[in-house]
Structure 1
């Protein structure tokens, strides 16, 4: 069985598993299985700095906490461990309360989430797909003649925010700075907070512009919904962050699957028939968002055989729930139509409709263009040499080096790069 580190906490009975460290970088799936085997569907854990919480790995238990927003609430101010959290805690961005839709509850949450859903529903998905094709073509143009590329840094990471900028009605000249700052803000680095402030400033300027010059875009739709400008700024930040890294990882993880699994490699020349299956399989087996903080018990309760106290934090093990043997036996490699995974969450605080559809349009189009343009695409390194980013929370590759037959594109490749990036 996979080994994991235990630790005792005098404030909590029994031993707890440290949900951080190098064990997760190598094989998180095996670790989730080991935790479930020893503790069951709800396990006592320690987060960075040995802050106690619960890890929910059972599919049924996950369904319960996401379905009952009154007992398992979202407002992080309910947490009973705030007095133990240092000011420089690395997970503070996940739990620090802010006035965005992420932390609202009840009627207020339904008002805010409903406005986001309506704004996203107004997006023309056919037009979005056509725009993603143009973005993808220009990015491929930039490296098609070289015969090699890193499909994470040169492709997957670049497309989602370029698509979002289009949905926001942002001028193309402002897009490169937004892409750069969002990438920095989502990383754990010295300039992350400054980058976040720059993104916030950009969203505030965008909303002010759309107030005076509305259009057929998401910010203008939100302004028509009656939300305040500050509410819209905060919620656009949430949508932007949710669209970037998870979608980029979804793209990268799916391309990896199609290049390493013979079921897909045999159909790469056609591509289109298997992209949808590969996208769905990744959500079950290598979902971009592995774990999520979280839910907070509003009163003492029982969950998965554990006594949960009022104010306790429950970490949502999305990937672990997807691999729960109780449901995994019903998921086969060919189960294209089974979308009962927890990758987009569930319930009132799940990813608002139609955000998953919009993300799939971006991901599917991105991959289809790549396979159409470079039909003999192949990994440039052994599959086992690929390195996953060191994160307990996200599942994505550091790089995805590939090789292919060079295809020379007419015109100035430099200007093509500038136009896309």
Structure 2
């Protein structure tokens, strides 16, 4: 295969790509994104791990265009023109390897699947979800409340989202710990254990669909089975897996990033013992400034086109720079402040954005988790200097590896 020539547009000038990886991406992504924007403009040539080429969309308007046009910027990754260069152990393979889930389908098929998911999620009782999340949060806090210290990532934030999703799936509470372990293992890059873990989760979803077909209840799988779209069991299994994976780490990161903001930013510290406004503001600010999914891979150009002054060729891979687009100076110039503003792109947009009402349900889980924690442990404080906190090594996700805290020991609620 010939080397990719990044066309600067209507001129013949070649553009040198920048690596979208390394310490700068993990520790200070906003600085890297600003450097990319200053150097290349709203659409930049980048190299992903393994020197695989892609276009990085960091302009707010340009990203809106990409997400709005699902025919031109398509989701079926089989169109990618660099597949012959992708190694079998590529760490990002799971995010681009085509399967027949709702993530990669297009056109009427995607609309049918997405509508069924939205309808199934819309019937989730949000008041009951709050109650379930409160019970889950209380139980987790009880496990470490007496010790006066905890890691709020591993012991709290990463355990709540899957437990909540398992509840709306109608799964027995006894099965949740194993599901949490297998989902976490399946998302580790590479290794046979991650594949075995994924296979166990997929088999659990298959068994769940079989059970719900015989004994339906008021839960998401049962609603998908009964939906007028007439989904096949394999379609439901794959889409339940998608919901699990997209609910797990992003929501856990949202919880962890919000707690970090509340504990390190003086604007919020004074309000921790007050009303709920600061929690809502912190959740929203995280979506603007430390969004749990900072980049998304991706879209593939279905034909030659121009975007942000760059000429893209059919088959080129497009990376959605969600965090970078949120920080686009043009957004600030338009008077879009982050306070009370939900015009961020953190959940994507358009036909392949996060299906309604999934963002609402994620916010219920995140907000309840943070509020219960602050209620139970009002003198919560970081156990290390803020600069000692470390971010996960990921081009896609933005989340902490740990969040050590201390507090006054307290008795369990039960």
Query: For the superposition of Structure 1 and Structure 2, which TM-score range results when normalised by the shorter chain?
Result: over 0.9
Deviation track 1:189-247 (CA, whole Å, cap 9, x = no partner) reads 52111111111011001001101010000000000112100000000000000000000
**Equivalent of 1:359 in 362, 373, 382:** 362
CA distance in 2: counterparts of 1:259 and 1:198, whole angstroms = 37
Task: Extract unaligned runs of 5+ from structure 2.
Answer: 7-13
Aligned twin of 2:300 = 296
8 Å CA contact 1:271–1:372 kept in 2: the answer is: no
**Structure 1 residue 101: Cα displacement:** 0.3
Aligned twin of 1:316 = 320
SS at match of 1:80: coil
Aligned twin of 2:126 = 125
**Structure 1 residue 182: Cα displacement:** 0.3
1:273 and 2:273 are equivalent in the alignment: no
Deviation track 1:60-85 (CA, whole Å, cap 9, x = no partner) reads 00000000111111100111111222
**Structure 1 residue 21: Cα displacement:** 2.0
8 Å CA contact 2:91–2:190 kept in 1: the answer is: no
Deviation track 1:77-119 (CA, whole Å, cap 9, x = no partner) reads 1111112222222211111100100001111110000000000
Aligned twin of 2:9 = none
8 Å CA contact 2:224–2:231 kept in 1: the answer is: yes
Aligned length: 402
SS at match of 1:46: strand
Q: What does 1:96-107 align with in structure 2 at a 5 Å threshold?
A: 96-107=97-108
8 Å CA contact 1:46–1:52 kept in 2: the answer is: yes
**Structure 1 residue 410: Cα displacement:** 6.3
1:223 and 2:196 are equivalent in the alignment: no
Question: Which TM-score applies when normalising by structure 2?
Answer: 0.95
CA distance in 2: counterparts of 1:175 and 1:75, whole angstroms = 32
Aligned twin of 1:264 = 268
Deviation track 1:37-71 (CA, whole Å, cap 9, x = no partner) reads 00000001111111111000000000000001111
Root mean square deviation of aligned Cα = 1.3
Q: What does 1:321-332 align with in structure 2 at a 5 Å threshold?
A: 321-329=325-333, 330-332=335-337
CA distance in 1: counterparts of 2:231 and 2:57, whole angstroms = 34
Q: What does 1:392-403 align with in structure 2 at a 5 Å threshold?
A: 392-403=395-406
**Equivalent of 1:232 in 225, 230, 236:** 236
Aligned twin of 2:388 = 385
8 Å CA contact 1:270–1:372 kept in 2: the answer is: no
Aligned twin of 1:414 = none
Q: What does 1:3-402 align with in structure 2 at a 5 Å threshold?
A: 9=3, 11-12=5-6, 13-190=14-191, 191-225=193-227, 226-329=230-333, 330-332=335-337, 335-336=339-340, 338-402=341-405
SS at match of 1:310: coil
SS at match of 1:15: coil
Task: Extract unaligned runs of 5+ from structure 1.
Answer: 1-7, 412-421
8 Å CA contact 1:271–1:368 kept in 2: the answer is: no
SS at match of 2:393: coil
